[in-house]
Amino acid sequence: MNILPTVKLKSSFHNEKEIVQVLFERNEEITRLLRSKMQLRWSKTMNCWYVPFSKTLSNELFQLLRGIAYLNDKDLKKEALPEPVHALSNLEAGVLNIEGIKKVEELKGWMRSKRYSESTISTYTDALRAFLKYCNKPVSNISNQDLISFNNEYILANKLSASFQNQVVNAVKLFLRIVENKKIDVELIHRPKRAKVLPNVLSKEEVRLILNAHNNLKHKVMLSLIYSCGLRCGELLSLKPEHIDSKRNLLLIKQAKGRKDRIVPLSTKIIDMLRQYFISCKPQVYLFEGQKKGEPYDVSSLQKVLKQSLEKVSINKPVTLHWLRHSYATHLLENGTDLRYIQEILGHSRSTTTEIYTHVSTKSIQNIVSPFDYLL
């Protein structure tokens, strides 16, 4: 008997507007349905999905999710909420003045000239805009103390996420250095401790089951290529036929995260699978195309392919496509591959990022004999 997932509704405020948090465990089907039928949006500061408040929301979602998920609306206020208790003492702090608007645009222009990604530009400018609204003072008068106060009186008071706190510090630091040509004393700024979360790793047997679950050749090759080369989802879907060098057993990844090119080794087995795939599917522009020729395969469809694999082999873990990349790196390490090479293959800028896989590799840990075994 399948137990339906639960979708929980919680009344809240976001950007001074009344909203409803839509809380549920990662589920691509529910996400896709709500994004297509409702005004579902993601909030980085709240770290959750949300929709605008309406008195009919509960009934609408109940009908929409019937047979798909249970709806828990006990924390949803049926009437309009009272105005939020604002953490800002100055009522004008929520309005960005003309100077602030100009300064945000200056930072945005500089970041674009340096070819930052649009997502990074949006994250930094949104964080800077929030900070300048809070300060509501000439930018030349902004000091370390303003940033400390913003952390304590706004971010912490409103229980905003640690990631948002770090984003604000990074954005203000860059803004003052580039636009204002002055520095803040980072040592005085309170940064939250970064959570030490280990990557999720599958066993080799679990990976084998997942990759062999599909009879569809395209689906099998896509999942196999992610694991066999440690690819990110976006990297796989951006691949073109000319990126495969079968003579040298190499795969070229163009303009990946951080706008970096890199090469990764190709397994001879995956090359054989790719040859069969080429004969069968005849891709034109992208290596993996959707229903329309010349257009890349859709990311949500790829996630669905993985979900179908998990269902077929009865793996109940909340596996994502990125788990295959983590598993590839961990299995390389367990096979004796040097960390420096793994770092190059994965495209990590810092070795410390790659070193996290040493904490999930079980090869050495399993060789440790517990003192309990020596007890009589």
Could you tell me which of 26, 17, 18 has the C-alpha nearest to residue 307?
Answer: 26
Of the candidates 189, 169, 345, 159, the one whose C-alpha atom is nearest the C-alpha of residue 263 is: 345
Catalytic one of 10, 214, 325, 326:
325
What's the token pair of residue 342?
A: 């793994």
E strands, 24-92, in order: 41-43, 48-52, 70-75
Residue 327: name the closest of 165, 208, 153 by CA: 208
Report DSSP state, residue 296.
Answer: B
Active site residue 322: yes
**Residue 165: how many CB atoms within 10 A of its CB?**
21
Q: Is 240 in the active site?
A: no
Q: What's the rounded Cα separation, in Å, for the pair 333 and 365?
A: 13
Q: Is 257 a catalytic residue?
A: yes
Choose, from 103, 219, 326, 348, the residue flagged as catalytic: 348
Q: Work out the angle at residue 15's Cα, subtended by the Cα atoms of residues 10 and 21, and round it to the nearest 5 degrees.
A: 15
Listing DSSP states for 84-97 in one string gives P--S-SSGGGGS--
117/115 Cα distance (integer angstroms): 6
Which residue among the candidates 86, 129, 232, 243 is catalytic per the annotation? 232
Consecutive H or E run containing 6: strand 6-14
Q: Which of 32, 173, 257, 312 is catalytic?
A: 257
Q: Which of 50, 134, 154, 357 is catalytic?
A: 357
CB-based contact 251:264 (threshold 8 Å): yes
32 included as an active-site residue? no
Active site residues: 232, 257, 322, 325, 348, 357
